[in-house]
Chains A and B, each alone.
Chain A
Amino acid sequence: MKGIFIAFDQAHRDEVVAGLASCMQHGYTMFPDTWGRGTNGGIPHYGSHAWPGQNSAIFAVCEDDRVERILERLRKIDKERPQLGLRAFVVPVEQAI
């Protein structure tokens, strides 16, 4: 099992959720308002006066064979609107209840 942590501009929210669903990934946890900035450029999302943008984050756990499909989908979303920003990180999940 793998965990996928997806951080993205709030504007992507509906598409990301729809993307996960299209990959048959029904379970996820969303953090609707999160802040952060990228390492390689992009506008910071601090929810402040100077940087008003905000991110959302999703942590989804899936079977190993589904990871690639989901990442492919996310990459497509990110490419369509590069200015908004979307990053995903895959981590191993050792145990679950």
Chain B
Amino acid sequence: MTLYEGAVRRPIMTTLVFIAIAIFGLFSLSKLPIDLMPDIDTNMIMVMETYPGASAEDIENNVTRPLENTLNSVNYLKHITSQSQENYAMITLEFEYGYDIDALTNDVRDKLDMVSSALPDGAGTPIIFKFSTDMIPILVLSAQAKESTPALYKILDDQVANPLARIAGVGSVSVSGAAERTIYIYCDPNKLEAYGLTINGIAGVISAENVNVPGGSFDTGNNAYTLRVEGEFDDPQEMLDLVVGHKGDQLVYLRDVAEVKDGLQERAQKVTTFFTNESDPRGYSGEQGAMIIVQKQSGANSVAISEKVLAMLPQIQKTLPSDVTLGVIVNTSENIYATIGSLEEIIVYAMLFVALVCFLFLGRWRAVVVIVLTIPLSLVASFIYLAVVGSSINMISLSCLSIAIGNVVDDAIVVLENVTNHIERGSEPKQAAIHGTNEVAISVIASTLTMIGVFFPLTMVSGMTGVLFKELGWMMCIIMIVSTTSALTFTPMMCSQMLRLKKRESWFSRWYDHFIVRGLLDKLDHWYAKRINWAVRHRKTMVAAIAVFFVVSMLPAVFGLIGTGFFPQQDSGRISVKLELPIGTRQARAEEIANELANTWMSRWGTPDKKVLKACNFTTGQADTDNTFASMQSNGTHIISFNIAMYKVAQRGMKISMYEVGNQMRQDLKKYPELAKIQVTEGGQRGMGGQTTADFEIYGYDLAYTDSLTNLMKTYMESLPGVSQINISRPDRQPEVQVDFDRKKLARYGLNTQTAGMYLRSAFNGTTASYFREDGEEYDIIVRYTPEVREDVKTIENIWMPSAAGAVRVRDVGQVVERETLPTIERKDRQRVNTMSCVVNADVSDLGSVVKAGQAYIEQLRNEGYLSGDTDIQVSGSYEDQQDSFKDLTVLGILILLIVFIVMAAQFESWSDPFIIMLVSIPFTFTGIVLALWITGIDLNIMSMLGGVMLIGIVVKNGIVLIDYIHLLRERGESVISAVVHAGRSRLRPVLMTTLTTLLGMLPMAIGTGQGSEMWQPMGVSIIGGLLVSTVMTLVVVPSIYCIVQGVKIKTERKLWANKLGVEAEWNKKRHKIKTLRKK
């Protein structure tokens, strides 16, 4: 008993098997987490090495270089980049995608052990970090307070950050913008000098007084007592009464030389958040407050975590003082939900369209039910795979479903059609189902094999594209296998149950027969047969015409009218802006500018009627060192960073995209000439789905020379209309005040550089004398000069340094000078590098053109002799990724072509037939893609390339159907031309039907405007364009070329036979005779 016979004869078993698959699938679906992208394993390892006291250049020579030289030999290393800064070096190792990062980490650790002896004595132990994109915060919360402001940090840390950090999957929760309580002892330098005191001396007294000393225990009679001295301060003001020294026989109290300030940290980040507010007359309101940043652990699911955090917030809010309110600034999961939501909508529409096409061609609801049931069965099965490999419902897996919808019905349609034929000939449905399926089983399996031939290689792509397309490849293979199995078992079973031997005549079937079948489909068949008849009799004209069409259609590509890009830019509704004022600008000025900008933007886009910006939050000032998130980003009094959240695309009152908003912001920022650096990043992150940048790396040891080269290049790139912003990675030289001590003079006063340096440090930076303890919390007690004194450079010169050999002022033993230093030296692949990133303005230009212009300029510089020796400029960034991926996809395309050829050649047992199909369908697929991209103005990027690659498998199916039937008719004894015409006429409907299901299945993808549509639109457009042109060409041209090839074949065969039979001479004579007769 064959598979299909079994299925038809045991309908209950067949139904239950598929119901079981559906149940498992739905169960898996309920378990699947939601995410934006498949889990991309991190491919970066960071090594941090400290060497206190060394300058950037010293670090580069003594720490970075030896580390780089050793780490360079780790396997699968793609790039090694480093940042040498004062006190430490940060080396980033970027590996090829797809290798086990834990194994690589062990390799790195081994190498570090090897190199440790070569490092300088004072250098610390290298620390390894596994860096990944997960470090991007998933939630940014705001906290605003009125009366509680002074205690805000403690409140947030204890009552918000701690409970949130306990949620499984949360990596870290950091609070910024709320200053910590600190107790300052502000000393007056003049008074200190008058009493002969020093900062360190005072700090010593405080630390000696603020102690509890246990004195042991003693026995009295029957009792035992412990002895203790409790000296710790209960109130900071107690310190004022401390005796810090003597002047003659008078006691000097702390209050004589200093004041005690119990307040907040002097320098802290300030955070202000603006929200859309309907009750405010301006439409928005802004308040200073704090910001809470939630990061996830690598590998955790961001949607699940942000859901848990958000669910916990109302509960937390209840425990907070009534004036503290929490709000959400950025919520990554919102974008993910919206994107997944719009994809789900696309899938529903695609199913609907496919059902409609089936109904149009079949005209019977029973047949449509049989076909359409295949869709959910096959799709649901793929969820089992996702659950087994631990993946998620994400953009790739859902797009895959939407691509599959049009294809899974194909096999079922072929089976159903043949079964219907059998029934129409008079078979009982049961018999028809078995024998009808039997007849087409081989060709159904062959066409599935071509599809698997396309999608299986996708699972073997390397690099970042590979990580993305692996899932797509596996899912499509599984869906195809399930759909074919279902077409060979479930569909015949359903046919045997649902279809009837005698059609019941109803008004609908009469109407359908009259209008659709006779009025439309029959006429179409007839019309097409006529065209084919003409085409096969004018073969040379046809070939010439399509050659011309091919050349003309490729012109947009030749003339560069199609832009190229890496990943489509997605409107995720997140913008971050980083502004740098000249170094040394006070925080107050930075705040003023930030406030102005925030007000401008909120009034333009943030009011309830505009509904574009939801929240706009900015941070100014220097971060505290224990804030993990802030300390990883650059910060300082001159830096302003904005975090902007927009409404979802569908909710926006003003139809404006994230990129348009970003461009307008850049225009606004240009009005501030004092901004030294402007960096607007749309999408929160660069690379996948975010901002596209053309990066140029300027290599060279001479810093001054590469700086000037960078400026030259920058001036040129700025003049290009396609570049909206340029970021340069090398920081500006930082002005520094340095004290050059004269060692001889120092020695004369019994000082040395270290002791003198410590005097400077305690005066300005201060000394942490002790900790004030209250309610189980510790607060720093810091002794330093009063703030007014510290604002003046003169103070440095006047610092009074007492020593055993007397006392001296700084100006007497040294010189205070102002110098500039480079805070960071960057290297890539063991060479000094400066990276220039040009943000591409997608409205005007594309990545490919910007890079091309840049390359032309680099060539010019090279010709003029600017790039010689170790100096060089190279292209990297998105372009490098794009080139890598395009290369991968091209190799993949060739591999797929070969596999598809193999499958077809095996099926037809012929070398020429698969060649005919591929010769027509493949080139015209590219024609279609080029034309579609040109008309819609979409870039050729990874997604559109992927569409093209997948088309290889889809377009040849039409050719297979056609050629297969031509063969059948030839075997039945028809002549070449008659077989071609009849086959065309008979196969037009199935070809149109399968093509239309795929086309209409892709249509919602191509025209969708929901959240994230930018991502899949290029794929939808290129599949529709390619499939459309290729199908039309296959229908028209394949018959002609088949006739040409068969003509040649028949002639050669005739000649061969003639030779064999030795009648060639005779044959030639005859031909000569005919010719002469004709002439006459």
Contact = CB atoms under 8 A, between A and B. Distances in A.
A50 B432 CA distance: 18
B968 interface: yes
B857 to A, nearest CB: 62
Interface of A, helix, strand, loop or mixed by DSSP: loop
A80 B426 contact: yes
B910 to A, nearest CB: 13
A11 B438 CA distance: 12
A12 B968 CA distance: 25
Contacts, number: 42
A3 to B, nearest CB: 26
Nearest to A81: B426
B985 interface: no
A41 to B, nearest CB: 14
A37 to B, nearest CB: 12
B1047 to A, nearest CB: 21
A10 to B, nearest CB: 6
A6 B425 CA distance: 20
Contacts of A51: 971-972
A52 B965 CA distance: 12
A13 B426 contact: no
Interface in B430-473: 430-432, 435, 438-439
A14 B9 CA distance: 12
Contact of B967 (A11, A49, A52, A54): A49
A48 interface: yes
Given A81-B425, A81-B427, A83-B425, A11 B971 contact: no
Given A49-B968, A49-B971, A50-B968, A82 B435 contact: no
B431 A11 contact: yes
B426 A54 contact: no
B970 to A, nearest CB: 8
Nearest to B971: A50
A84 interface: yes
Contacts of B784: none
Interface in A1-32: 9-15
Nearest to B422: A11
Interface string B391-429: 000000000000000000000000000000010011110
Interface string A53-94: 110000000000000000000000000111110000000000
B986 to A, nearest CB: 14
Contacts of B431: 10-14
Given A48-B971, A50-B972, A11 B439 contact: no
Contacts of B967: 49-50
Interface string B491-523: 000000000000000000000000000000000
B535 to A, nearest CB: 24
A50 B426 CA distance: 20
A9 B435 CA distance: 10
Contacts of A53: 435, 439
A12 B435 CA distance: 11
A11 B972 contact: no
Contacts of B426: 11, 80-84
A94 to B, nearest CB: 36
B974 to A, nearest CB: 10
Contacts of B432: 11
Contacts of B968: 49-50
Contacts of A52: 438-439
Contacts of A9: 427
B616 to A, nearest CB: 69
Nearest to A13: B431
Contacts of A15: 428
Contact of B427 (A11, A48, A49, A82): A11
A44 to B, nearest CB: 9
A27 B426 CA distance: 27
A49 to B, nearest CB: 6
A48 B972 CA distance: 10
Q: Which of A15, A48, A50, A81 has the most CB of B within 10 A?
A: A50
Nearest to A80: B426
Interface in B914-967: 967
A10 B968 CA distance: 21
B972 A14 contact: no
Given A11-B422, A50-B972, A84 B427 contact: yes
Nearest to B430: A14
A2 B428 CA distance: 30
A52 B422 CA distance: 12
Contacts of B972: 50-51
Nearest to A43: B425
Interface in B464-493: none
A28 B861 CA distance: 95
Nearest to B974: A50
A9 B428 CA distance: 12
Nearest to A48: B971
Contacts of A10: 431, 435
A33 to B, nearest CB: 10
Q: Which of A12, A49, A81 has the most CB of B within 10 A?
A: A49
Contacts of B425: 81, 83-84
Contacts of A80: 426
Given A11-B422, A49-B971, A54 B435 contact: yes
A14 B428 CA distance: 10
B5 to A, nearest CB: 11
Contacts of A84: 425-427
Nearest to B439: A52
A13 B439 CA distance: 17
B204 to A, nearest CB: 101
Contacts of A49: 967-968, 971
A96 to B, nearest CB: 31
Q: Which of B430, B431, B967, B969 has the most CB of A within 10 A?
A: B431
A15 B426 CA distance: 13
A30 to B, nearest CB: 14
Contacts of B427: 9, 11, 81, 84
Interface in B773-831: none
Contacts of B969: 50
11 contacts: A11-B422, A11-B435, A12-B431, A14-B428, A52-B439, A80-B426, A81-B425, A81-B426, A81-B427, A83-B426, A84-B426
Q: What are the nearest 4 A-B pairs in CB distance? A: A81-B426, A50-B971, A11-B427, A11-B431
Given A11-B426, A12-B431, 7 more contacts: A13-B431, A14-B431, A49-B967, A49-B968, A50-B968, A54-B435, A83-B425
